[in-house]
Structure 1
């Protein structure tokens, strides 16, 4: 795969698509998801915390993705803290700290019954982001240990990252849905992934769902039917990791395979919704002795 060429082609197509649909487009929805291991196994390590915010724009939303590439654009803003097992006193044998900030554009479309998305994110990492300082301040607010990762961070860099996903939903009984999907990514981490999402309840009906890159959980980008009630979300996937700039450190050996298993509850009210999910993330490098559990929260209310 010629990755620089893929980057250029993706960036050009998204830019042209955005320009083509700029006239007459308007805001169709916002979505967000917050992840923190304090909400999971509460051990403050590795995939420690992240926040993603999505803004969806297009001409209209008819309850399904448009067929035309670029007719619906998601602008994605994200930050993530990937840490050592002990940020106050990091071990040389542990992974390097990754403070990431990213901005990107993704187009969501479908061909027949197959739902697809294609996007490009610019991921800024290293001391230039000052994410470590932000985490240190947050730890001070919550009386946690200080963040002392000077000399233990990945180098400052910018990684253009292309992501493509394709999936198809099938009805499962009267209230369920199963959606197998495949995903490929090239950039900060280059990988191929296959997995499945299963939903019982009204969550996602007539809505546009967006996938979180850390956990794989789906969150709402454009609201759908808003059927009140409780929904159960289950899912899992496995990935083959060809390369990771986050683990490109002498003495650190990445694992070629990763797995994620997730579950969540979504409560839809008449004027809002609450979601909590938990995701098991398998080990990412040889020196990581065990996996971890990350908790996720999302909330939206209309007044």
Structure 2
């Protein structure tokens, strides 16, 4: 998805004010849009993604609670996985996949560790509408469209129940600098164990509740009350041992790389009514026939009315 496609997504990046509902309240929204065009300017492999978190919990909650189930994240995500050439793919390149997922997570803290545990229902195939939207948006903006052969050859409709979890240990280095190593696991559409860490600088990262983007590993703030004015920075890296991926099936001859690596950096600015974040993530090769790594960019824009 090249740069003009951003125009359709930017509206989805705007923040809205929380609204109360019943015995719990909406504590905030977090969103992150990722696109290859914002990184190395290509339209390949991890082509585009969007992830949104809606946080709900007791009124007045300002951070992680001490028990599971008190704070709930409702997560929606969508991803485009594509061959490097969307018109005439090279032999052995990855197959097109349109992916959408709905998930429910709980976040809590215990004995100095931050926990995120949840489940997702991951949908793959033409039924998601991702491939059709990709084709329509490129056609409308005069960009190269994925060929009919690529879209017709995408993974068929399927659902993949998925479990996911993360344990992080935030260690404060200075007043505004936190080192946050983590271990993450996933069982479902992809099965992996991942180890990594992030250095988070600035008030926007040391309070509230952070969620992690599936594509890049970037952590983003989900609590509206934690968006304090000022600058923030992050750097991080991780490696995953992937045991299985429905997007790179061994039955089709794909050999997974021994480890899947990511390195990321980002900067954010938060004003009184406007905030913006940009991050770049280097993604290592995911399968042996992938000729090189890629760089994707991530964007978040927040407007508070």
TM-score, normalized by length of structure 2? 0.89
**In structure 1, what is the Cα distance between the partners aligned to 2:84 and 2:204?**
35
Q: Are the counterparts in 1 of residues 28 and 222 from structure 2 also a CA contact under 8 Å?
A: yes
Give the aligned partner of residue 161 of structure 1: 162
Deviation digits for residues 42-69 of structure 1 (CA, Å, limit 9, x no counterpart): 1110000011111111113433211121
Q: Is contact 2:205-2:232 (8 Å) kept?
A: no
Partner Cα distance (2:285, 2:29) in 1? 32
Q: 2 CA distance for matches of 1:269 and 1:203?
A: 11
3-state SS of 1:203 partner = helix
State the secondary structure of the residue aligned to 2:205: coil
Query: In structure 2, what is the Cα distance between the partners aligned to 1:173 and 1:241?
Result: 35
Counterpart in the other structure of 2:263: 261
Name the counterpart of 1:31: 30
Distance 2:35 2:74 in 1: 23
Cα displacement string for residues 20-39 of structure 1 (whole angstroms, at most 9, x for unaligned residues): xx961121111110000000
Do 1:208 and 1:224's aligned partners in 2 also have CA atoms closer than 8 Å? no
Match of 2:302 among 275, 293, 300: 300
Partner of residue 72, structure 2: 73
SS at match of 1:161: strand
SS at match of 1:145: coil
After TM superposition, give the deviation of residue 174 of structure 1 in Å: 3.4
- Distance (Å, rounded) in 2 between the aligned partners of 1:225 and 1:186: 31
Instruction: Say which SS state the counterpart of residue 128 (structure 1) adopts.
Output: helix
* CA-CA distance at 1:229 after TM superposition: 1.6
- Matched residue SS, 1:246: coil
CA contact (8 A) 2:24 2:56 kept: yes
- Alpha-carbon distance between aligned partners in 2 of 1:201 and 1:185, rounded to the nearest angstrom: 29
CA distance in 1, matches of 2:190, 2:60: 32
**Does the Cα contact within 8 Å between 2:131 and 2:151 map onto a contact in 1?**
no
Is the Cα contact below 8 Å between 1:90 and 1:152 reproduced in 2?
no
- Matches of 2:52 and 2:92, distance apart in 1: 33
Q: Return the alpha-carbon distance in structure 1 between the equivalents of residues 301 and 146 of structure 2.
A: 29
Shift of 1:142: 2.9
Looking at structure 2, the residues matched to 201 and 58 of structure 1 have their Cα atoms a distance apart, in angstroms, of: 25
Partner of 1:63: 62
User: Could you report, residue by residue, the CA deviation over 1:123-173 in whole angstroms, capped at 9, with x for unpaired residues?
Assistant: 000122231111011112332211121443122210011111010111123
Give the paired residue count. Answer: 282
Q: For 1:1-303, what aligned pairs fall within 5 Å after superposition?
A: 24-148=23-147, 149-248=150-249, 249-303=251-305
**Offset of 1:273 from its aligned partner?**
1.2
Contact 1:133-1:147 within 8 A present in 2 as well: no
Q: Name which of structure 1's ranges 136-145 and 117-126 shifts more when overlaid on structure 2.
A: 136-145
Structure 2 residues without counterparts, runs of 5 or longer:
1-20
Unaligned runs of 5+ in 1: 1-21
**Secondary structure of 2:137's partner?**
helix
